[in-house]
A and B are shown apart, each in its own frame.
Chain A
């Protein structure tokens, strides 16, 4: 049997489908809608991986980090759950733990899915940093365990299979939340490796990614300097860590850090920066020069869902937009959608208004509404905000 928690081959080339929606009024809805969206784009997957991220599913335990894991037993070692628990107890207080209910009739073999609600013991250290290190250590050091997600009031459900199988396995339609993202995968390899599916998540960020990062080698070196080690053999990992650094560790003002992160990940061409007003040129030049090795090159479209510094759903693409991404807002203005293909959005809401975000330009929706459309009108707004 292949391992669920460790990659079999360290090769992962592919094309995929991504989708997400965000109820800006934080209305809780069941996973039925996201399953419909992702399963519609069946040409974009080949049955080798799918996953879902959901925000708002643990309203009662919102103050605790939810460490959600898949586990399998390793011959010659004590039960994996015991080893995980022992490790966790050294760093965090476990407030509550539970087995995640799964549908046993989907896969012949599947890992054990478990979640712990925890909080760091040491109050002198940034709790986010403690959890980040705990997650990275579990994934690297504990054989047979892989951490799916570690944020507050959010969780990731993913595995190897068709999107409808993963949805059925994790009983996604019974889960409720206000922000959802999903991924269906078309890799050229890596069957069996559940951890390699998307969303890729660290703390409150979850990323679904369609594309291939050609700057991976450069980004990994940059992240090494910033205190992130990449060895999960998925290029999506670098996007998650870069985003985490820009919004959480760079010290940038909270109400523009998500925007700066998006510019750094996929900055405008120099020829466009040269044509900007002196004020904007100064900002964009500074971001491009300072974070030059944090730029993600190669074809990608991504959906970032995050709760830091504030709840947001971000759609972003490479500067040539070599992967599709479409944005939409429901007629009432209360639900924001992102998807690889328009049909995924039509499937659940045919009254919405949709638009194509420009290449390399992020679209950002927060509880206050759409703060960035991924179109040239964003620059006027920025001009106002920046000195």
Chain B
């Protein structure tokens, strides 16, 4: 009795409206609502199972279901809040590490919300993005300081080829999410979307399903510590990324519970059905920056220097010097994942506390690499959690070449951020490997939604660049001059390299 979980949400069915069709019960995967054969109507079996995924509410044809916070107050206390009481209760019950999905759900201040941007007035005409070109094309890959030019005959010149790069139609890509963490349909839909839009998606460390090879021009293949699914074919894609860390769980490897490892996942990852796929925390052939260089070189060799090889790290205290080492080790791009970034499964204690915000990380990496004179060599990809196009715009101004989204793409496909990803019970057919649940996601519909989101953010970016009098996104990368800080902490503005709103230091033209 004492082990009983206190409900978080209260589900109610209004039987005056209910037509007893049972759709709610069919759709509930968490056992909150079931269909009672004897009473011949759906009933709330256990409201403590409800996760507020909203599936039943969405599918009820008569609007008979409501979900509200469970009407019970925790005794008022500033320290012993429900967050802590519930966690203690859970760990006292199980004796285990608590697993959590999605990103950090603690209400940390979000630095994006302390930043605003500039616009043209009088001295400088705003550009009308609907009528005039505003360019968002971006190249992922290494760049040189200058172009190597050869004189082949007197007064006649030729240039050497550029280092390998991938052209993106927009400085926005979908970050690594694996088949296994997500359903086959969810992955397929996102791959279709990035192919349509002309950008990239990461495979995560789940390997690549044979049916997905046709999207290879739009795929970044991840080489993570578990090396699941890494094969010559797997590396024959647009770009490769070595995963050192993930924002949601810096220092921790990927985790896929055995319950999610069915035949499909087993074939793609190359592991037996039902085994836990627990990636080691470090890559066991990378204990140092020298080792990282060896792997970068090996992957360059394996792919005959045709495609860029990047390195993904979590945003941690020392991120700037680490990034500098990665550039010097020969990586073609760096992906930085902020501490609010998402995950299919991570120890909650790590998800909620480890790492630093992406805003600080990107600003410090960009400034550090600039001071070292190597910023021009590398493409910086940054994400975790970009919640809107405004976050994308701000992260570019803070120094990222490319922004990446994960959770936002899932939300576009119907995710309600109920944080039950590790359970595999996703009612929306997204974070599950159950073939029946997976079918709930209509691939074409979902692909269109994700493509729409990518396009909409790109249009937002074009509009905003236009109002700032900038007609190509490369003139906005690291352009902190156009941002202003309106938050509570001037020291933070200094770290970001952004002036405070109202400071009279702006200069201009003539």
Contacts and interface: CB of A to CB of B under 8 A. Distances in A.
Contact of B470 (A198, A215, A282): A215
Given A185-B510, A299-B125, A387-B158, A221 B143 contact: no
Interface string B461-502: 000000011111011111111100000000000000000000
User: A interface, how many residues as a size bin?
Assistant: 35 or more
B475 A209 contact: no
B127 interface: yes
Interface stretch (B130-138, B189-197, B433-441): B130-138
Given A10-B507, A236-B510, A386-B156, A269 B135 contact: yes
A297 B157 contact: no
Most buried by B among A15, A16, A252, A297: A297
Contacts of A299: 124-125, 469, 509
B73 interface: no
Contact of A218 (B145, B155, B475): B475
A214 B124 CA distance: 8
A210 interface: yes
A19 to B, nearest CB: 14
Contacts, number: 174
B507 A233 contact: yes
Interface centre among B151, B371, B397, B471, by most A CB within 10 Å? B471
B137 A270 contact: yes
Contacts of B478: 217-218, 221, 293
A200 B187 CA distance: 55
Contact of B123 (A183, A188, A225, A387): A188
B93 interface: no
A271 interface: yes
B155 A215 contact: no
A55 interface: no
Contact of B510 (A9, A186, A217): A186
Chain B at the A interface: SS class: loop
A146 interface: no
B124 A289 contact: no
Contacts of B260: none
B143 A289 contact: yes
Nearest to B476: A218
A22 B144 CA distance: 36
B509 A14 contact: yes
B162 A16 contact: no
Contacts of A10: 504-507
A15 B508 contact: no
A285 B147 CA distance: 11
Given A15-B509, A292-B474, 8 more contacts: A13-B506, A212-B124, A220-B481, A226-B373, A235-B508, A286-B159, A297-B472, A299-B125
6 contacts: A13-B508, A185-B510, A252-B146, A271-B133, A286-B147, A293-B474
